[in-house]
Amino acid sequence: MTSDAPRPDLSRDPAWLLSLAAGLVPALAVATRVSTAAWLSAVAVLAAVAACLAVLATRRMASWVPAPAVLLAISGMLAGVELAAAAWLPQLRAGLGVYPPVTMVSCLLLGAAASAAREATAARAAGVVARSVIGLVGMLLAVALVREALGAGSVTLPTLAGGRPIVLPGLGKAPAAALLAPFGGLLVAAYVAAAVRGCWRATRRAKGAGR
Amino acid sequence: MSWVGILLTFSLAENVVFARLLGLYPCADQPVDRRRTVAAGAALTLLVTAGAFAAWALRVLVLEPLKLSVLLAPLTVLAIGAIGALARACLRLAGDGASRLLGPAFQPIVALAAALGVVLAVSGERAGVLESVAAGLASGLGFLLAQAILAAVADRMQTEDAPEAFRGIPLALLSAALASLAFAGLDRALFARLVGR
């Protein structure tokens, strides 16, 4: 499974973070608040670590072993998360619906990134996954922040009780509520990805001019 | 829900790509291959239909009697993964042609996540076995429709002159956002009023 996964090329397209996050796009459907994005990010990090460890533990074994191993690791982790959420965060679990399991499975992509470094050392593979996780979490939080600020006029900080909203003066009076719909997530993600790419290219140009 | 209602709801109103944002792989900078797009849609349709049946069997025959419904998601992951592995093994047996056509087109992880989302959503409706399978089939058809729309848009975009920062993935996301906006008009309540529940 992991061998067929996309292997983004940072030098070709700096928006590779989003490409790696192709499976994380589903999270945009429900990441309408910063607190929700933070919880989904935590789930993504757990899944990425589990997938990375499973790939690293099985990469010296026969070639058919890593895919089921990653699947088993994710399923085990998912069972733990579902049981914990049902016990301690039932409202959040009900609100997020099918998306935490989908996000966890999507983060197999990060395990795929580790398997891309199959011939490299464990530290290098862990580095690949860590960079990917930071990128994905950053992108998800940035998109959620923009959507909530413009779409609801507030920023909700994550708490165990479900979140503490901070109303932004001026923005709360006439929010662009359409940004909270699924297409709003895609729209904001597109602009954030373009901004990341623009900044990345500008930085490269400045570095090139400095040499 | 009537059969027509299930078909319209799960293929259009609750479209797997545009309403649930599942199975979207934003790579507009890659060349469009219509045969592989159709093959990917067909593969996901099969996966979701078989997954919906497996999830129904797990829920009704195993988890609900044991009062362990909370474990539906992890067990569905394993079931869909096993179905996908079985499908790939069958493809290899079927020959190089089928494997070449369906294999690369079928992004396994993205498809697995999409199938899982659809199967869990269908399970959430607590429908019977035939309704679950029909909803899975309709979701797969909706995926096929969405992929065809996105492939056609990507095809047209290759000849357009977009700003440099938007080329590639951002443009693909923008296209998907606009298509999703169009599908947002196809409301579940609208279909319920048109064809009844």
pLDDT given at position B137: 87
Q: Which of residues 14-43 of A touch B (CB under 8 A)?
A: 15, 18-19, 22-23, 25-26, 28-29
**Per the CB < 8 Å rule, is B169 touching A19?**
yes
Tokens of B150: 């996105």
Find which of A17, A43, A105 to mutate to test the B interface (most B CBs within 10 Å of its CB).
Answer: A105
Residue that has been written with the tokens 């623009």 in this structure? A198
Q: Which residues pair with A167 in a beta bridge?
A: A154
Angle of CA points B174, B180, B186, to nearest 5°: 160
What residue ranges in A63-209 does DSSP mark as E strands?
A: 154-157, 164-167
**Per the CB < 8 Å rule, is B107 touching A5?**
yes
Chain B: closest CA distance from residue A117 (Å): 18
B177-188 tens-digit pLDDT: 999 999 988 877
Ranges under pLDDT 70 in chain B = 1, 25-33, 95-110, 195-197
pLDDT given at position B197: 55
pLDDT given at position B179: 92
CA A128 – CA A8 distance, rounded (Å): 11
Beta-strand pair A154-157/A164-167:
antiparallel
Out of B20, B85, B116, name the one closest to residue A101 (CB).
Answer: B116
Q: Reduced to 3 states, what is the DSSP secondary structure of residue A61?
A: coil
Q: Give the number of other Cβ atoms within 10 Å of residue A33's Cβ.
A: 25
Residue A9's φ and ψ, nearest 5 degrees, are: -110, 105
Chain A: closest CA distance from residue B23 (Å): 7
Torsion of CA A108, A23, A2, B62, to 10 degrees: 60
Find which of B169, B181, B186, B188 to mutate to test the A interface (most A CBs within 10 Å of its CB).
Answer: B169
Find which of B70, B109, B157, B164 to mutate to test the A interface (most A CBs within 10 Å of its CB).
Answer: B109
Residue B184's φ and ψ, nearest 5 degrees, are: -65, -20
Residue B34's φ and ψ, nearest 5 degrees, are: -65, -35
Question: For all residues of chain B together, what is the average pLDDT?
Answer: 80
Q: Is B95 left (phi over 0), alpha (psi -120 to 50) or beta?
A: left
CA B36 – CA B1 distance, rounded (Å): 33
Cβ atoms of A155 and A34 within 8 Å: the answer is: yes
Ranges under pLDDT 70 in chain A = 1-24, 62-66, 108-120, 161-162, 211
Segments in B128-168 forming alpha helices (H): 129-157
Residue A7's φ and ψ, nearest 5 degrees, are: -120, 95
Name the residue among A78, A8, A199, A49 with its Cα closest to residue B81. Answer: A78
What residue ranges in chain A does DSSP mark as E strands?
A: 154-157, 164-167
**Per the CB < 8 Å rule, is A187 touching B174?**
yes
Rounded CA Rg of chain A:
18
Interface confidence, given as ipTM, is 0.81
Chain A to chain B, count of Cβ pairs less than 8 Å apart?
A: 156
Chain B: closest CA distance from residue A5 (Å): 7
Cβ atoms of A55 and A115 within 8 Å: the answer is: yes
A138-159 tens-digit pLDDT: 888 999 999 999 999 888 888 7
Residue A165's φ and ψ, nearest 5 degrees, are: -75, 140
CA B129 – CA B135 distance, rounded (Å): 10
**Per the CB < 8 Å rule, is A201 touching B120?**
no
